[in-house]
Amino acid sequence: MRRARLRPRPPDPHMRRLLMVGSVGCGKTTLMQRLHGQEIRYAKTETITAEDEVVDTPGEYLELPFYKHALRLASFDRELVVMLASATAAESRYPPGFATFFTVPVLGVVTQIDRAGPDAVEAAEAHLRLAGATEVLRVSAVTGEGMAELEARLA
């Protein structure tokens, strides 16, 4: 597996204000690091964090019902919610129609496509569509596949 070369870059003044939502280990933080041109390193997100225009949320906020209200509150000043689903996950944590929970548009992103076969990638996309994402992109933050399209969509 070939890793893409990263170049640190200044904050993009044209990037939309985003909220990243997804299960534990689906790649929210890794994707955020990639979008900011940072070195990719594992860091467990323990609480809602913001860097430039991107708000990263812990996976537990999606997985545990008593935290879901925090996701909605965090979305109020955002322009776009990015729902992530790993192509390596066997099941989805998103309930059907979950996107209607938010008052802003939702973009679905299948992550970790470099670590899964085509059937798993298709299944992850289907989970996001069932959750209400009308547009779904496929990316690998490690190899860079699909990142140009995602960055263009977020501009």
pLDDT in tens, 115-128: 999 999 999 999 99
The answer to whether residue 4 scores a pLDDT higher than 70 is no
Q: What is d(CA 40, CA 24) in angstroms, rounded to the nearest whole number? A: 17
Confidence check: pLDDT of 61 > 80: yes
Across residues 24-37, what is the average pLDDT?
A: 89
CATH architecture of 18-154: 3-Layer(aba) Sandwich (3.40)
Q: What is the C-alpha separation between 134 and 128, in angstroms, rounded?
A: 8
pLDDT of 114 higher than 60: yes
- Do β-strands 54-56 and 18-21 pair in parallel, antiparallel, or remain unpaired? parallel
The per-residue pLDDT of the chain, averaged, comes to 88
Cα 51 to Cα 96: distance, rounded to the nearest angstrom: 30
Cα–Cα distance measured from residue 56 to residue 30, given in angstroms and rounded to the nearest whole number: 10
